[in-house]
Chain A
Amino acid sequence: MLLTSVIIVLREVLEASLIIGVLLALSNRLQSGRHWPKWSIGIGLVGAAVYAASTATVSDWLDGVGQEVINAFMQIMIFCCLALITLIFSKSDKQSLANSRLIVVLMIVSVSLSIIREGSEILIYLSSFISDRDMLQSILLGGLVGAGIGTSVGALIYYILLNINRTWLPYASISVVILIGAGMAGQASLLLIQADWLPSQAPLWDSSGLIAEDSIIGQLLYALIGYEATPTPIQATAYFGGLLLPLALILITRQATSTDA
């Protein structure tokens, strides 16, 4: 049970922790907005508790697929926020970035939503052991270990990004943010397929023999770049669309500003 709880909590913490790590590295260049992580975590935790408490109700919505649709909506929101963040970062100069309130709001929204989604699952999991005192102790211990590892991976990404050559930092951070965002778009499409809101199709390929989704590398790649061993054409389209859309927007606005000047 200990190992199970390590894995469950780690999986859930990893994604939020990666987003926080990368956005922290990005915002390290901003002088303003040092408080956004506190706000995001606070809002995220309260939201996670509320969402966990209402999961039974939400599940029954929309003929039993409310959970999928709400989660997909949250992931699409995270994707949009991350895409806007990369866009603002790539086109703004240092001065206007430092004063940008919008970017702080976008960071708070994306991180809180990610904590709400992942945190609620952890809370639901933990809640099943609340009446079982003996079990609860080892579950909580495992959960702490999982949370510790997950947080460390986020911290690792943060320090790696900060130690990159200063001229490369924005490019590296923006690339990682775009990759995480594309993963969100892919996951959202999978949830809508599961809800039967998008058509189900045969998978495009099966790379589970190469990298299994339940392996450590598979899990890490899932959190980092939204790895799927058996994606359907719709999922792949959502993923690569999620990858190309922010890139295209960045290029278009670049071109527009360079012709202005």
Chain B
Amino acid sequence: MHKRKILLLWILFALPATAKPPVFEIEIRNHLFEPSELIVPANTKIKLIVYNRDKTPEEFESYELNREKVIMGTRKAVVFIGPLKPGNYPFFGEFNPKTAQGTIVAR
């Protein structure tokens, strides 16, 4: 019983204590990603915030990153990514795949 309490306390305190991942931001404007190339640290979990400045919805999608998320018009979306091995990870806007393209570069 005592052991369980300690474990519970440990979990409670350990959760907020984990370091907050660094935040990176990109924007969608006229169905284009800005910047279209984002450099992030390798082997680190990051918090990506995608601001959709268009009125129309978009879907942030990447097969390489295994991520997919709808972002409504004039809204933002939070996507946690990584830790990534060094390399290039293309992403695109599924609703406008011809124009909305970008790459996350992990270094």
B76 surroundings in chain A (CB, below 8 A): 64
- Residue pairs across A and B with CB atoms within 8 Å: the count is 72
Q: What's the Cα separation between A172 and B51 when bound, in Å?
A: 46
Which of A56, A63, A228 is B72 in contact with, Cβ under 8 Å? A56
Among B47, B72, B98, max chain A CB count under 10 A is at B72
**A68 CB within 8 Å of chain B:** yes
Main secondary structure of the interface of B (DSSP, over half): loop
Number of A interface residues at 8 Å Cβ cutoff, please give it.
Answer: 31
**B107 CB within 8 Å of chain A:** no
Number of B interface residues at 8 Å Cβ cutoff, please give it.
Answer: 33
Least CB distance, B64 to chain A, in whole angstroms: 8
A67 contacts B57, C-beta separation under 8 Å: no
A190-B66, A228-B66 given as contacts; is B77 within 8 A of A59 (CB)?
A: yes
Closest residue of B by beta carbon distance from A3: B97
B69 contacts A208, C-beta separation under 8 Å: no
A4-B97, A200-B83, A202-B83 given as contacts; is B78 within 8 A of A230 (CB)?
A: no
Q: Which residues of A line the B interface, CB within 8 A?
A: 4, 8, 55-56, 59-60, 63-65, 67-68, 121, 124-125, 127-129, 190, 193-196, 200, 202, 208, 212-214, 228-230
